[in-house]
Amino acid sequence: MIKKTLVAISLGALMLTASGGDIQAKTLKVQASSKAGDWAHRFMTDNYAPKLGAMTYGNVKIDVLPTKAVVPHRETIDAVANGILDGDLNAVSYFSGRDAAFAIIGDLIAGYDTVDQVRTFCNHAGGKEILQKLYDKYTKGQVHVVGCGPYAKEAFVSTIPINTVAEMEGVKVRSPEGLAAEVFRRAGAAPVSLPFSEVYTALEKKVIDAADASAHVNNHASGMYKVAKFPIYPGIHSMAVLQFIVNKKVWDKLGPEGQTALEVWYAAAYDAMRREADLQDRKIAAEQKAGGDITVIDWSKEERAKFRKIAVGAWEDFAKKSPLAQEALDAHVKYMKSVGLLN
């Protein structure tokens, strides 16, 4: 069913581009947030990068590069604005040091239950528009936002059982600095700042008890569950929003047909990755439950609501740091109330 849907989408794009020659030939050099060996990166390069060329009769192609291939991961927006990169598929929260709004848009810790909710917020409830405002401000209009949204909810990696918010007390949690660390701190945990590359060793040597890491499928591929036997799945904390931005001059030169093809390709690619990641996550969790060596913990709705209530205070404090951060949080809250996540 998924394949049929994607074929239909692709055929629709082909019909849009069938009149042909109005699209200027271009291979987009785009840097992603994923490492070369990651499941997510392989999915994009092996399965979906080739489809853009097919959709446009070879006029628009995309070369998806791994993180840090051209520039450090926190410098991609400058590289895109200046034409060093044509675009990025990067985590929005990486840029929260420039404006707190990037943190609010990029990963509203403990806010949402499902990936679909966040993608709906991004693409239909104001998220994409606020992200464009940020880039208009910080790149002087040199960047176009094609889209945004997560492909998976992260599973929480833990060496000890954590069944409730109360059991977070005193737990040493690897966490990104900023909003995530503040939420964990308010829940009673002790946040520790470590690069992702050091998480496995830190868990193994008991430098940390738990970690804000990645999607269940990525954690599994990285071997995390060899040392962390008590994952919380579905996760309780993070759904990192990835952006797709393109240099504005490059975007304009693509023309209406090339732009439409790129938008359709992006939507189809991330919808397929979301679905595949969910299937992989569920399969891994089922195997872990059946195996008996790993205890998969699923927090109740009540505990998730308690954690969200704690997080709200941190969101509100971060939102005070800039007008766009406040606008972003207001948009989140309005949408979350409309779908019953907040009263």
Query: From first to last of its 343 residues, what are the pLDDT tens digits of the chain?
Result: 444 444 444 444 444 444 445 566 799 999 999 888 888 899 999 999 999 999 999 999 999 999 999 999 999 999 999 999 999 999 999 999 999 999 999 999 999 989 999 999 999 999 999 999 999 999 999 999 999 999 998 899 999 999 999 999 999 999 988 899 999 999 999 999 888 778 999 999 999 999 998 889 889 988 999 999 999 999 998 899 999 999 999 999 999 999 999 999 999 999 999 999 999 999 999 999 999 899 999 999 999 999 999 999 999 999 999 999 999 999 999 999 999 999 8
- 160 and 205 inside one domain: yes
Name the amino acid, one letter, at 124.
Answer: H
Inside any domain, residue 77: yes
- 174 and 265 inside one domain: no
- 121 and 158 inside one domain: no
For residue 253, the domain's CATH number is 3.40.190.170
For residue 161, cis peptide bond before it (omega within 30 degrees of 0): no
- 77 and 161 inside one domain: no
C-alpha pair distances (Å), 315 with each of 2, 108, 168: 36, 7, 19
Residue 21 backbone phi and psi in degrees, to 5: -75, 5
- 214 and 247 inside one domain: no
Q: At what angle do helices 115-124 and 248-291 cross, to 10 degrees?
A: 170
The Cα 191–Cα 1 span in angstroms is 43
Beta-strand runs (E) in the chain: 26-32, 60-65, 87-91, 143-149, 154-158, 172-174, 190-192, 210-215, 242-247
- 84 and 122 inside one domain: yes
C-alpha pair distances (Å), 286 with each of 164, 195, 233, 239, 282: 22, 29, 11, 21, 6
The Cα 235–Cα 162 span in angstroms is 12
C-alpha pair distances (Å), 300 with each of 163, 297, 306: 9, 10, 10
Contacts of residue 62, Cβ cutoff 8 Å, sequence gap at least 6: 27, 28, 30, 49, 52, 53, 265
Q: Tell me, rounded to whole angstroms, the distance of Cα 38 from its chain centroid.
A: 14
Give the range of the structural domain holding residue 6, as residue numbers without chain letter: 2-152+239-280
Task: Using the structure block, give the residue that is written with the tokens 């409309």.
Answer: 338
Count up the domains in the chain and report the number. Answer: 2
The Cα 88–Cα 65 span in angstroms is 9
Name the amino acid, one letter, at 131.
Answer: L
Identify the H or E element spanning 274: helix 248-291
Task: Name 65's bridge partners.
Answer: 31
Inside any domain, residue 81: yes
- 32 and 129 inside one domain: yes
Burial class (CB in 10 A: 0-12, 13-18, 19+), 204: middle
- 180 and 77 inside one domain: no
281 in Cβ contact with 287 (< 8 Å): no
- Collapsing DSSP to helix, strand or coil, 88 comes out as strand
